[in-house]
Chain A
Amino acid sequence: MILRLAIGSLSARALTVAMTVLAIALSVALFLGVEKVRTGAKASFSDTISGTDLIVGARSGSVQLLLYSVFRIGNATNNVTWESYRDIASRPEVDWIVPISLGDSHRQFRVMGTTVDFFERYKYRQGRRLEVAYGALMSDLFDTVIGADVATSLGYDVGDPIVVAHGIASFSEHKDQPFRVSGILDKTGTPVDRTVIVSLEAIEAIHVDWQNGAQVPGQSTPADVIRQMELTPKAVTAALIGVESPLQIFALQRAINEYPEEPLLAVLPGVALQELWGIVGVAETALLGVSAMVVVTALIGMMATIFSSLNERRREMAIFRAMGARPATIMGLLVLEAVLTAAVGALLGVLFLYLGLTVAQPMIDSAFGLWLPIEAPSIRELWVLLGVVAAGAIVSMVPAFRAYRLSLADGMMVKT
């Protein structure tokens, strides 16, 4: 009956209570939403590359190497010479090696030269392979396979011509050697979506007439002449390596890092990803902290509402006291109301979250390549909800204690 009376008392103040519940619900939804995005981002972040044991590049920082080789952010300070590449490739520990050559761009997208092995070896989201959505892989020297985002944002179809620009954000274009889109990849949510992939030889081919970063004036070798040329690259930007046995990863890493001919760096993608997340994650944690503050604000709002309702409820408390309720019972009643309010707010917040997720999931996926799974609340989220209710109870102790003192002083007679 006490519970029914508490609910009755709450519904008698339906409007203010509804506002409080709404504030708590929104703050809880925000908090859980940020948490969802955070875990989703972290998951899709660490899902960016899998199945690769080592990434090799010129010696720099491990995060930098990861950024340019996998995320296509920033630039390599140096290249790996073809001789070193061949050397590493021929080591017995190496099961497979895929070269990556970066440096050119098409519109805002990076162009990556590689071998067809890339499509087989590059894995994401726990071993998923790249799939061709339309068309086929490169068969000609001037064929290109583009990522899903490249195709949608530039409106390309299979067969369309592409002119690659020299460097990044540059106005000098490799106009003489246009490419043809031979295939478009499925969306992956990884940087591959934003990459124009060509063969390693094609990278050489478009630079045939170029020296020191500029086209030699008046010189333009026809495409069929280029096709006859020896197009072995002089260097690659980085390479992805798979080893024969996981036990050899560290030995190979050490060997590459101590490679005498050239300063090289080999990193474990997982370790580098974690290192990078340590940098990026700070912002996420800050965001989480801010949304936690929003929850606290909503709870303090509830406290203020209880406080301001105390005066008009003195009569009610006097009735309870006259019936023999102890002041502690009245205090408990107020805390119970706060717990109910917070619990309804928290549940409504979960509802908001799932509604929001249902609506926003496809949009977030297509806009950011971030897949937020709709699944039952995790243990962690349940703890968060429980924490909100508990915090509501604790916060309400303050006005409830005041009610305790008031009802002790008022007794059955309200002195107004």
Chain B
Amino acid sequence: MPNFSVLRGEAVLLLGESGSGKSTLLSLICGTVHADAGIVRVAGTDVSDYSGGQRDRFRAEQIGVIFQQFNLLPFGSVLDNVLLPLRFAPARRGRVENGPDEARGLCAALGLPDLLATKASTLSVGQQQRVAVARAMIGRPPIIIADEPTSALDATSQSAFLDLLFAQVRAHGTTLLMVSHDPRLGGRFDRVIAMEDIARIERQAA
């Protein structure tokens, strides 16, 4: 991949069909996959030479992740789930004064009723995705990576979900990199990049 960059505070939509290399790109940024060649720079830091453990720690501190679905540990409470990243990220933990209060605030901002003690598996899919946003946002990591977070939602919920997500990232100046196969979502983002374009360049380069 020759060059792909996202600016700080930018909201970027990465469009691509499955198998186009989206997941690999996200894994590279998150540091669960190591780049054989080239440089991966995340939040201003070159993570290419980081060891596995360093990359895990870096991810915990810098990146909030939202999956397509099954975001939550089903047996944990909402509070457990929201606070989980702090467990692995001391700096993020340091920014949160009172975990439950912070979680409650985030959930309220995301339009969730007070569900902190509820078991995650009892929530609806829409609620689960919003809890996932709260979890990604807690401790204000500079980057949010979302892998098709709306694909499990119906059209109305999709729109409502994106409203809430954008409200959060805009409010805190968070960089958002979202992956989707749905071009209709593009209007809200600062920039839309098609995966084919990057991948093609990559193949030519290779």
Contact = CB atoms under 8 A, between A and B. Distances in A.
Interface of A: 1-2, 4-5, 8-9, 11-12, 315-316, 318-329, 408, 411-413
A17 to B, nearest CB: 12
Q: Which 6 A-B pairs have the closest CB atoms?
A: A324-B60, A411-B32, A324-B88, A12-B75, A8-B75, A322-B65
Interface of B is mostly: helix
11 contacts: A4-B80, A12-B121, A321-B56, A323-B87, A323-B135, A324-B59, A325-B56, A328-B53, A411-B27, A412-B30, A413-B32
A323 B76 CA distance: 14
A223 to B, nearest CB: 86
B65 A323 contact: yes
Contacts of B32: 321, 411-413
Given A8-B80, A412-B65, A413-B27, A324 B73 contact: no
A326 to B, nearest CB: 5
Given A411-B27, A413-B27, A324 B76 contact: no
B21 to A, nearest CB: 12
Nearest to B81: A319
B53 A326 contact: yes
A411 B80 CA distance: 21
B61 A1 contact: no
Nearest to B56: A326
B17 to A, nearest CB: 16
Contacts of A5: 73, 75-76, 80, 84
A319 B83 contact: no
Interface string B181-195: 000000000000000
A61 to B, nearest CB: 66
Indicate the member of B57, B70, B72 with the most A CB atoms within 10 Å: B70
A411 B76 contact: no
Nearest to A413: B23
B85 interface: yes
B33 interface: yes
Given A323-B135, A325-B88, A412-B27, 10 more contacts: A8-B76, A12-B74, A319-B73, A320-B84, A321-B32, A323-B85, A323-B87, A324-B61, A411-B33, A413-B26
B72 A319 contact: yes
B147 to A, nearest CB: 8
Nearest to B57: A324
Contacts of A4: 76, 80
B75 A324 contact: no
A76 to B, nearest CB: 71
Contacts of B56: 321, 324-326
Contacts of A315: 70
Contact of A9 (B23, B75, B87, B88): B75
Given A324-B61, A412-B32, A329 B80 contact: no
A132 to B, nearest CB: 66
Contact of A326 (B30, B52, B74, B147): B52
Interface string B27-42: 1001011000000000
Nearest to A10: B75
B166 interface: no
A402 to B, nearest CB: 17
B75 A323 contact: no
Contacts of B67: 318-319, 322, 412
A41 B69 CA distance: 61
A325 B59 CA distance: 9
B80 A323 contact: no
Contacts of B84: 1, 5, 319-320, 323
A413 B145 CA distance: 13
B89 interface: yes
Contacts of A326: 52-53, 56-57
B27 A2 contact: no
Contacts of A2: 87
A321 B84 CA distance: 11
A412 B132 CA distance: 14
A324 B83 contact: no
B83 A1 contact: yes
B31 to A, nearest CB: 9
Nearest to B72: A319
Interface string B167-180: 00000000000000
A321 B55 CA distance: 11
A315 B70 CA distance: 8
